[in-house]
Amino acid sequence: MIKYESIFKINFSSVFFMSIYLPCYKKEQPLALFDHNRMEMFFPHNSLTQLANAGFKQALTKNILIKLKQGYKKSLKELRPILKLQYHRVLSNKELILALDQFQKSIQQAFIFYKQTEYFNFIKIEKELTQLIPNQTQLQ
């Protein structure tokens, strides 16, 4: 039996938001439950372990923060054209579909960089630091 752990609880979530968010984590095989605009997402324990190991390895990569920041900024620049659309006028169905498609692709591209900063990527790092620094106030 696969054991899952709750990783997020989001109020005022929507199916549209999750249609953008969930594909970014398809490799991790998440479960998402909805109840009255509230969403809770669960990851299998083995996925969390893999993410923690990958986060630990990534933390040892030279200049990783600079690389992530540059990639994230570049992906956000791709959002500019969609933000410049004139929403004060009514868009045709075709314009709306194209805008939403471009928005979804751009957000997912930006999320590739953002998701590397999620807390579960730092679980192994935190455990290692806790063992090295017994006084947790120093760790904080």
| Contact (Cβ atoms closer than 8 angstroms) between residue 109 and residue 76 | no
- In the three-class reduction of DSSP (H, G, I as helix; E, B as strand; rest coil), residue 84 is classed as coil
Give dist(CA 127, CA 80) in Å, integer.
40
- Residue 43: predicted pLDDT: 93
- Residue 137: predicted pLDDT: 64
| Contact (Cβ atoms closer than 8 angstroms) between residue 122 and residue 55 | yes
For the chain, 140 residues long, the average pLDDT of each consecutive 10-residue run is 89 76 85 85 93 91 87 79 68 84 81 84 87 67
Q: Which two three-digit tokens encode residue 76?
A: 């956000």
- Residue 76: predicted pLDDT: 77
Strand partners, 39: 10, 34
| Contact (Cβ atoms closer than 8 angstroms) between residue 51 and residue 76 | no
Give dist(CA 16, CA 37) in Å, integer.
11
- Residue 85: predicted pLDDT: 64
Domain ranges of the chain: 4-131
The whole model's pTM is what? 0.73
Q: Of 123, 113, 103, nearest to 51 (Cα)?
A: 123
Give dist(CA 23, CA 9) in Å, integer.
18
53 residue type, one letter: N
